[in-house]
């Protein structure tokens, strides 16, 4: 195995776009491709899977999303949070399987999430965050251990929540690397299997893979350009021919080459994407009119168009920003969380109507959680936090991980209620990567540090919420 692993790593690290045709030389990739072709030939939904990343940009205060509700743990919570504590009576109760010794609730704006959770279609992963290795408070305060680079900094933590390499800067994310490996499962890759509603992002960038960025209206056409226009003196015909010629020219300057490359890619993808995703959803009218609602509607339409796109695997990225609540945390979350909740409800209903609820998993991510303590009406950048996953494949109504003590100065508090994560993002992501179809042997190509937290040959799942 060793030589093969090394060669594959080198392949992922060094290959450029021109070498994409060499993908099948790798045996595991070839097998994946054959499996994918077979799956594509049988049609139907049994081999379709998609991940939807809902990235809460700015650092969502997730200790007000999944909240202690029982008397003593609530007292600990409110003691730490002061003015930013949610009233105990307002929390929506949930009844996780296997949780003992405490009670939990969700933010009052998450009524639909509460229902999904109780129906076994959603789960929480608690106190998850970036780690280079398991860490105690004593080790944190010492100097021997390595901490994630740029801990508590937006840009670094957003990056690491997408790259899963907190010990190094990287411009590649694990969904991008997954697409490098899994693209062969798709019958077509003209439109990237990684679709973003929020522009380019690291999560979906790999060696070859990139984010196909669309907006809520779909993909963008080039105006005044029409290959079907034939009248030789019509300006549209002339413009079309000239634009094609410009795309075909060789450019000596690399920045010009890059520009030409981007434009050509955009034009090719447009034609396919908009045809493929034009169908109306069964519950289209039920989507909320928010931007997030429209974004998730576009995701659902793209999932519905998977056949025409030739996609058996897809990932979707939506960044919903504005969670950097240094001020007015309570009122801001009260406004924003119901938007998230309503959009997810409509999305879930679409998937159910399409018969694809078991094939799609939505998960949340964020820069970091926020300090338990407040500076007045807001909270500051912190570390480990709570996230949720939704989908028919999710082993729901469970809390994965141990909900931490929220006592200020508690065992995991490194100051101001910054909680050391007990689950590394690597494990959270590994679960989803394996579910999506990445092989155990390839896991470390996506998540270089996974071996520190999970043995790829382990008979058990990394966390168990999907596998």
Partner 1 sequence: MRNSPILSSAGLARRGSPFSCAPILALSSVLFAWFTVPLASSLRAASVLAAGTVISNITPSVLPPVTLSAQDPVSMILVDGDMRSDWPDPGVVAFRRENTKGASLVSFALSGSAVRNIDYTVSAGTASGGLLSAGSASASNPILLSNFVIIPDGKREVWMEFLPSSTVTSSTLNAAGNPSPKTITVSMLVSSIAWGKVSTTTSSVTLNLVPASGKPGRKAAVRFLNQAAFGPDGNLTNVDSVSALGFEGWIDAQMTRPVGTLQPYLVSLGTAVASAHKTTAWWNQVMNRSETADSLRQRVGFALSEIFVISDQFAPLAARPVAMANYYDMLLKGAFGNYRDLLYSVGTHPCMGTYLSHLQNAKGRPATATSSATFADENFAREIMQLFSIGLWQLNADGTRTLDAAGQPIPTYDNKTVGAMARVMTGFSFSGPKATSFYSAPENYTEPMRMWDAYHDLDAKVIISGPASNGITLPARAASKPDVGTAGLADYNAAIDALVQHPNTAPFFCKQLIQKLVTSNPSPQYVKRVADKFVDNGSKVRGDLKAVVKAILLDPEARDPKMMANSSFGKMKEPYLRSVNLAHALSAIAPSQNFPLSNLADIHFQQPLSAPSVFNFFKPGYVPEGPIGAAGLVAPEFQILNDVTALFIPNYHLRALQYGFNRSNPKDSADLVMPQLNTELALASDVPALLRRLDLVLMGGSLPNAQHQLIREAVQGIPTTLARWQDERIRMAIYLIVASPDYAVLR
Site for partner 1 in 312-371 (CB under 8 A): 321, 326-327, 371
Q: Does 135 bind partner 1 (CB under 8 A)?
A: no
CB of 59 to partner 1, least distance (A): 11
Question: 294-323: which residues touch partner 1 (CB under 8 A)?
Answer: 321
Nearest to 392 by CA among 10, 48, 23: 48
Nearer to partner 1, 245 or 460 (CB): 245
Q: Can you tell me which of 219, 344, 412, 466 binds partner 1, judged by CB under 8 A? A: 219
250 binds partner 1 (CB under 8 A): yes
Taking the CA atoms of 307, 42, 211 and 424 in sequence, report the sign of the dihedral they define.
positive
**Cα gap 114→368, rounded to integer Å:** 23
Question: In terms of CB distance, is 198 or 361 closer to partner 1?
Answer: 198
Residue 205 · residue 163 · CB < 8 Å: no
- Min separation Cβ 236 and partner 1, Å: 10
Burial 21-53 (b: 16+ CB within 10 A, else e): eebeebeebeebbeebeebbeeeeeebbbbbbb
If one asks whether residue 373 binds partner 1 (CB under 8 A), the answer comes out as yes
CB of 54 to partner 1, least distance (A): 17
Q: Are 313 and 437 in contact (CB under 8 A)?
A: yes
CA pair distance 370, 59, nearest whole angstrom:
7
* Closer of 349 and 380 to partner 1 (Cβ): 380
Interaction of residue 400 with partner 1, rule CB under 8 A: no
Q: Closest separation between CB of residue 34 and partner 1, Å?
A: 27
Is 210 among the residues that bind partner 1 (CB under 8 A)? yes
Q: Does 200 bind partner 1 (CB under 8 A)?
A: yes
Any contact of residue 20 with partner 1 (CB under 8 A)? no
Q: Which two tokens stand for residue 251?
A: 């450019």
Strands 49-56 and 360-366: parallel
Q: Which stretch, 35-43, 230-238, 303-311, 423-431, contacts partner 1 (CB under 8 A)?
A: 230-238
Which CA distances in Å does 258 have to 247, 263, 264, 439? Answer: 11, 9, 10, 33
Nearer to partner 1, 41 or 248 (CB): 248
249 lies in the binding site for partner 1 (CB under 8 A): yes
With CB under 8 A as the rule, give the number of residues binding partner 1: 78
Q: Which of residues 27-86 bind partner 1 (CB under 8 A)?
A: 57-58, 79-82
Quick one: residue 59, left, alpha or beta (phi over 0 = left, psi -120 to 50 = alpha)? left
Q: Which of 29, 267, 309, 419 binds partner 1 (CB under 8 A)?
A: 267
231 interacts with partner 1 by CB under 8 A: no
Helices of type H across 51-119: 71-81, 111-118
In the complex with partner 1, the residue whose CB is nearer, 270 or 454, is 270
User: Are 62 and 381 spatial neighbours (Cβ–Cβ below 8 Å)?
Assistant: no
| The two three-digit tokens of residue 196, written as one number | 């973003």
Token pair of 403, please?
């909900």
Q: Output the smallest distance, CB 325 to partner 1, in A.
A: 10
231: helix, coil or strand? coil
């Amino acid at each position: 195995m060793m030589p093969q692993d090394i060669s594959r790593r080198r392949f992922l690290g060094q290959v450029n776009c021109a070498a994409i045709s060499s993908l099948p030389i790798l045996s595991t990739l070839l097998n994946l491709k054959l499996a994918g072709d077979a799956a594509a030939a049988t049609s139907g939904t049994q081999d379709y899977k998609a991940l939807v990343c809902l990235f809460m940009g700015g650092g969502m205060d997730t200790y007000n999303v999944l909240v202690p509700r029982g008397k003593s743990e609530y007292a600990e919570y409110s003691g730490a949070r002061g003015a930013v504590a949610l009233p105990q009576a307002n929390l929506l109760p949930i009844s996780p399987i296997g949780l003992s010794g405490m009670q939990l609730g969700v933010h009052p704006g998450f009524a639909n999430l509460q229902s999904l959770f109780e129906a076994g279609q959603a789960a929480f992963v608690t106190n998850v965050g970036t780690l280079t290795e398991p860490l105690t408070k004593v080790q944190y305060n010492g100097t021997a251990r390595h901490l994630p680079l740029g801990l508590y900094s937006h840009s670094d933590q957003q990056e690491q929540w997408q790259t899963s390499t907190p010990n190094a800067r990287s411009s590649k994310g694990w969904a991008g690397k997954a697409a490098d490996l899994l693209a062969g499962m798709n019958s077509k890759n003209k439109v990237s299997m990684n679709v973003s509603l929020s522009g380019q992002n690291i999560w979906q960038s790999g060696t070859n893979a990139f984010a196909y960025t669309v907006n809520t209206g779909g993909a963008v056409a080039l105006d005044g350009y029409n290959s079907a226009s034939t009248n030789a003196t019509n300006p549209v015909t002339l413009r079309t021919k000239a634009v094609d010629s410009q795309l075909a020219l060789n450019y000596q300057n690399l920045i010009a080459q890059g520009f030409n490359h981007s434009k050509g890619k955009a034009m090719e993808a447009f034609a396919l994407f908009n045809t493929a995703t034009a169908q109306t959803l069964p519950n289209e009218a039920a989507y909320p009119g928010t931007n997030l609602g429209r974004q998730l509607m576009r995701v659902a339409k793209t999932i519905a168009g998977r056949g025409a796109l030739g996609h058996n695997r897809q990932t979707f990225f939506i960044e919903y920003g504005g969670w950097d609540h240094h001020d007015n945390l309570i009122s801001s979350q009260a406004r924003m969380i119901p938007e998230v909740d309503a959009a997810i409800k409509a999305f879930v209903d679409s998937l159910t109507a399409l018969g694809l609820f078991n094939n799609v998993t939505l998960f949340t991510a964020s820069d970091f959680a926020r300090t338990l303590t407040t500076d007045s009406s807001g909270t500051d950048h912190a570390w480990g936090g709570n996230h949720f996953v939704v989908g028919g494949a999710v082993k729901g109504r469970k809390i994965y991980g141990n909900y931490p003590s929220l006592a200020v100065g508690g065992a995991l508090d490194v100051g101001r209620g910054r909680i050391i994560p007990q689950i590394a993002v690597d494990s959270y992501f590994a679960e989803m990567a394996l579910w999506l179809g990445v092989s155990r042997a390839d896991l470390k190509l996506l998540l270089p540090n996974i071996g520190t937290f999970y043995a790829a040959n382990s008979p058990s799942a990394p966390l168990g919420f999907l596998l």
